Structure 1
Amino acid sequence: MQLLKVPPKNGYIWLRQGSWLFRKNPLAILTLLSVYLFSVLLMSILPIAGSFLPLLFIPGLSVGFMAACRDIIQKKPILPTILLEGFRNHGKITTRNLLILGSLYIASIACIFIFSALFDGGQLLRLMIFGAQIDSEFLANREPMLGAMLATAVAYIPITMLFWFAPVLVAWHEISPVKAMFFSWTACVRNSRAFIVYGLFTALVATLVPMVIGIIMLLLNLGKFLALVLMPYSIVLTAIIYCSFYASYLGCFNIQ
């Protein structure tokens, strides 16, 4: 495995390759995405623990999604059980390391929300972690919470860099969790311009395209059908973005 440095345009290429991967087997990808989101939703129902429990398994489940993309390219059949590939097919040590990685992810997210308390006195922390209700107090203090949400979004960027490639490096290359996070960070920093382009194009298709669709439908007096169009679009876009993660992995690492 060799870490590569790619030109900025590759950020757009990753998203385009994600679209290509999705079109190769859209039914399988949408099924996996549905199973994944439903599983996360079930775990999140639990009080307090539901705020953290899904995060514990996200690194391992993301390996399963990457494995599905790999198998689609190799024209192999895709079953929903492939989501557990990271936990089933690489031995107990890898399973343990993926759970350690999930624990580190939980700790990172907790630190972000604790950091957000500096901006709103802990409103967002209580809402997201402890399941506080949105009442008149929350509504009356929207500006501090908006500031906390912005701070959280900015603080999440380095966390994303640490964990972007870490799960697949742990599972497929037998690297320890901490080293995998370091290599993930290094890959993202080295290819930061490509990731900026990737983020800009992703934001473009996630915001501008739905906005244009909405304006057109409103002009045609079809506003009541807007949700019927934007919901499938959002689901397909999410699937394409998940597929593009695998494209970025192939783009940043020379896999022998």
Structure 2
Amino acid sequence: MILHLQTVPPRNGLLWVRHGLKVLQRKPIALIGLFAVFLLVSSLLQLIPLLGQLVVLCALPLVSLAFMLASHQVLQSHTPTAAVFVQPLQLTPERRVAQLKLGLLYAVSTIAVIFLAHWLDGGALTRVVGDMASAGEKGDPKALESAMADPSLTSGIALRLLFTGLISIPFWHAPALIHWGGQGVLQALFSSTLGVWRNKGAFALAGLAWVGLTFGTTMVLTIVGVLLGLGNFMVYVLVPLGMALTTAFYCSLYFTFIDCFMFGAPRDLPIDAPAPARQDPPQDPPAPSEGA
């Protein structure tokens, strides 16, 4: 499949958010179920010291591609299953190897920025988190409040969020560029970086919209729960809400890809009707592309 790098207006960022939510509305149980499967498998793997955590990090690029495939299937009026997590590894051997290399590179990059951030702040965040845990175990609210007020907590979190955001740029579209475009690892990383940079306005607006939507709905529900005297039960509402919004975000990745590298996201996406056929890339592209 030939991919064409495109530049879209910033307002398209809101389009991506809206389409992610609409795709979730079509198949909410199936899509949230996929995210729950990912969380369950990740939790089980985390029980294996070091190796399990490494496997989870390596799998994250494939997880993002799996939700792109799931969104594509929903647009075709199909119900996605857990098979989407292994579909990217069932194409040609070259693409399978490229996806595995990409995952390993993502894990190494993530670990590298964690150590870099730890070195830059002198381990301050680790110390503050340890103080908070100690205060919580002792039941000392003043010590806990003091630890939470430590400026190292805010600066340490901000530093790690910055680094995480930076490394996400080259990996954002890379799995899809390998899967649908047949690109190599380095070419996919470069193309992804170029695509995000050219459309930074749309990505920034989409990011603000997701943050605003998450914090806004959480705040409203929390206030309503407190007013109704249901504060202790809000966890049973906020956890499913968080899973739903995270799933919608993953679904929106499909539209960021087609908008930046293909024919552009549709202007509107009906909740109950399938998207036009021209909006669907082939599942198994026949040959590599040099278009992006």
TM-score (norm. length: structure 1): 0.89
In structure 2, what residue type is equivalent to 1:152? Answer: R
CA positional deviation for 1:46: 1.3
Instruction: Flag as ranges the 4+ runs of structure 1 deviating above 6 A.
Output: 125-128
Q: C-alpha offsets along residues 113-158 of structure 1, whole Å, 9 cap, x if unaligned? A: 1111234433657999xxxx9547xx78754354222111111112
Specify which of 218, 227, 231 is matched with residue 226 of structure 2. Answer: 218
1:160 Cα deviation (Å)?
1.2
SS of residue paired to 1:198: helix
- The letter of the residue matching 2:196 is C
How has the CA–CA distance of structure 1 residues 195 and 66 changed in structure 2, closer, same or farther, with 3 Å as cutoff? same
Measure, in 2, the Cα distance between the counterparts of 1:10 and 1:171. Answer: 24
Q: Deviations over 1:190-225 (max 9, x none)?
A: 000001100000000111221121112212222122
Deviates more, 1:39-48 or 1:118-127: 118-127
1:7-59, CA deviations, whole angstroms, 9 ceiling, x for partnerless residues?
A: 11110110000011111111211121111221222222211223322111222
Aligned amino acid, residue 25 of structure 1: K
Selected match of 1:78 from 71, 77, 80: 80
Q: How does 1:1-256 map to 2 (within 5 A)?
A: 1-88=3-90, 90-122=91-123, 134-135=133-134, 143-255=151-263
Do the aligned residues in 2 keep the contact of 1:113 with 1:124 (CA within 8 Å)? no
Assess, with a 3 A threshold, how the Cα gap between structure 1 residues 69 and 164 changes in structure 2: closer, same or farther.
same
Measure how far apart 1:62 and its partner are: 2.5
Distance in structure 1 (CA, Å) of the matches to 2:41 and 2:78: 24
Q: Tell me which structure has the larger Cα radius of gyration.
A: 2
| Whole-angstrom distance in 1 between the partners of 2:134 and 2:187 | 44
More helix by share: 1
| Residues paired across the two proteins, number | 251
Q: 1:87–1:94: 8 Å Cα contact kept in structure 2?
A: yes
8 Å contact from structure 1 (residues 114, 122) kept in 2: no
The residue type equivalent to 2:215 in the other structure is T
Q: Match for 1:17: what amino acid?
A: H
Instruction: Report deviation, 1:91.
Output: 2.0
Answer yes or no: is the 8 Å Cα contact 2:57–2:103 preserved in 1: yes
Q: Gaps (5+ residues) in structure 2?
A: 136-143, 264-280, 282-292
Gaps (5+ residues) in structure 1?
none
Name the SS for the 2:194 alignment partner. Answer: helix
Aligned-residue identity in percent: 29
